[in-house]
Amino acid sequence: MQILQVVLQVLLGITSLLLTLMILLHRGRGGGLSDMFGGGVTSNLGASGVAERNLNRITILLALVWVSTIVILGLITRFTGL
């Protein structure tokens, strides 16, 4: 059980970093924190519809893995009495 916990903690760390990176890659929609860091300037050079949809899919998949890892780690912690 200890090995599973370590593997899940490593997976949680990796998905946390990747999820942060994926969220930061999203294009700002205007009006918010993205404007504070220069996201208010609209540029269509690197943004296409297909790339944005694929980025959304990857972000959602990573978020689901992240949440499920947290739930499984919580259940393991709850039922092993640590």
48-67 pLDDT tens trace: 688 889 999 999 999 999 99
CA angle, 4 as apex, 76 and 56 as ends, to 5°?
Answer: 85
Res. 82: pLDDT tops 70: no
State the pLDDT at residue 43: 53
CA distances (Å), origin 19, targets 1, 25, 40, 45, 76:
26, 10, 22, 24, 23
Which pLDDT score, from 0 to 100, does residue 81 have?
Answer: 72
Record the tokens describing residue 25, joined without a space: 């890659």
State pTM to two decimals.
Answer: 0.75
What residue spans define the domains of the chain? 1-80
pLDDT of residue 60: 96
Mean pLDDT, residues 3-11 taken together: 96
